[in-house]
Amino acid sequence: MTGFQVLLVAGTHGNEINAPWLFDQWSRQPELIKTNQIRVCRVLGNPQALQAGKRYLDCDLNRSFASEYLLSSSSQDYEVHRARELLALHGQEGSSPCQLVIDLHSTTSSMGSSLVVYGRRASDLGLASLIQAQLGIPIYLYEGDQTQKGFLVESWPCGVVIEIGPVPQSLLLARIIDQTILTLEACFKQIARIKSRTIDFPSQLIVHSHIGSLDFPRDTNGNIKYCIHPSLQGQDWKPIQKGAPLFISSIGDTIYYENDETIIPVFINEAAYIEKHIAMSFTKKEVLPVLDEWKDSLDLLINQD
């Protein structure tokens, strides 16, 4: 038993370079980020992809933590090997075990500073409620999509993704660095308050829960025929109603949203999702009461030593 440690992962995607750069600066200036005496392990998720300036070498590391990949000895993919390595180092049974993971990402979409939570684990929702109470940031609750699984944070007892944008792939931007520091420090502050048992949970958590994703309209060869409509570009987290323009063609032909249900788009025009056939995802807003179960699971996890 080594006690409670937070695992911080940067560069899970090798073309998201702001968090890895921040780690580098932080190692030279330990006072750069206030950790409130929380013990932290910092790792680069996908160092080889980072070196190559690519999102990944063989497959997406943030889809490589599914048990069928981890248990199968046949996979030769570098990212599956790396997923096993990260678990051997910092998983629950690892040589330097961490109980909570924060996975730092950036996006080409205008997501601002936001959190992504996978499913409705008590510990994740509890942590998200505290960070939202401090910073007021939106939370994308990703669930119920069998085509996308094997996310890194799901392999630890508690974990969230910090997703910040917009920033082009492989570009350093001071604003993104500042937002990452601010969000990280909020995480540490809240974790420290749980540790010192001085925490005060909010009464509710607002999430944007995943409904589904929409691909670009394509021709029979799979080529994209329409791009995101200019009035939708950059409008992540803003509700759209029936009649809202979604896509536009080169000759101005427009495709509109046609359902009656008001929805809230996220990850609009994320460059990395083109290969996943996702032009945007749709969510609905939900207000969840903060449950005692969430508080208890976090307390148990963080105050185990």
Which residues bind to Zn ion, rule: CB under 5 A? Answer: 13, 16, 105
In the complex, minimum distance from the CB of residue 12 to Zn ion, in angstroms, rounded to a whole number: 6
In the complex, minimum distance from the CB of residue 104 to Zn ion, in angstroms, rounded to a whole number: 9
**Closest to Zn ion by CB, 13 or 208:** 13
In the complex, minimum distance from the CB of residue 11 to Zn ion, in angstroms, rounded to a whole number: 9
Q: Distance (Å, rounded) from C-alpha 88 to C-alpha 90?
A: 6
**Closest to Zn ion by CB, 16 or 79:** 16
Task: Give start and end residues of each alpha helix (H) in the chain.
Answer: 18-28, 47-52, 67-71, 78-90, 122-135, 174-195, 292-302
**Closest to Zn ion by CB, 10 or 228:** 10
In the complex, minimum distance from the CB of residue 107 to Zn ion, in angstroms, rounded to a whole number: 7
Specify burial of residue 28 (Cβ count, 10 A radius: 0-12, 13-18, 19+).
exposed
In the complex, minimum distance from the CB of residue 24 to Zn ion, in angstroms, rounded to a whole number: 18
C-alpha dist (Å) from residue 68 to 74, 80, 128: 11, 10, 28
Q: Distance (Å, rounded) from C-alpha 21 to C-alpha 24?
A: 5
Minimal CB distance residue for Zn ion: 105
Using N-to-C axis directions, what is the helix angle for 292-302 and 122-135, rounded to 10°?
Answer: 100
User: Shortest CA distance to 277 belongs to which of 224, 218, 215, 189?
Assistant: 215
**Closest to Zn ion by CB, 62 or 235:** 62
**Closest to Zn ion by CB, 201 or 267:** 267
**Closest to Zn ion by CB, 167 or 228:** 167
Yes or no: say if 184 and 25 are a contact pair by the CB < 8 Å rule. Answer: no
Task: Please state whether 201 falls in left (phi above 0), alpha (psi between -120 and 50) or beta.
Answer: beta
In the complex, minimum distance from the CB of residue 236 to Zn ion, in angstroms, rounded to a whole number: 15
